[in-house]
Amino acid sequence: MEAAEREEIVAQLDNAFGGAEDVSPVGADLHVLLTALELPAPWKPSPTRGLAVFKNWPSERPLFYVDPAVVGETGEPPRSPQDAYVLDEQWRGFSWSVTASTSDPVRAIQLWINRFVEERT
């Protein structure tokens, strides 16, 4: 991915989600830290942090992780959680069937966030 495309993706995510930073290691795929990600009730904490990793973008949807502190109303994480160690930090991923494909990075992240709208713990 070219530098200009990386900058454009970060700018779009920053505008849409109120805080985004390129935290990619040198020579790695684009890693975007979402610093103030709003989740729908009853998920907390909100806002929280999210991390999107754009591997093979746009032919593949980004990998998406949330802060491992995120839980629903019963204190449980989203279903099918998978903890991952990314950028020297623990993150929580989860499986989610997203049927729509998109080349819009904002839409791609919103599709992941929709899981929090549809699922309650």
Q: Supply the range of the domain harboring residue 114.
A: 3-118
pLDDT of residue 115: 80
What is the pLDDT of the chain when averaged over all its residues? Answer: 91
Quick one: tokens of 15? 């505008």
Confidence of residue 111 (pLDDT cuts 50, 70, 90): confident
Residue pLDDT, tens place only, 71-105: 999 998 888 888 999 999 999 998 766 666 678 99
CA nearest to 52, candidates 40, 36, 60, 63? 63
Give me the number of domains the chain comprises. Answer: 1
Quick one: tokens of 21? 């930073």
Amino acid at 60: E
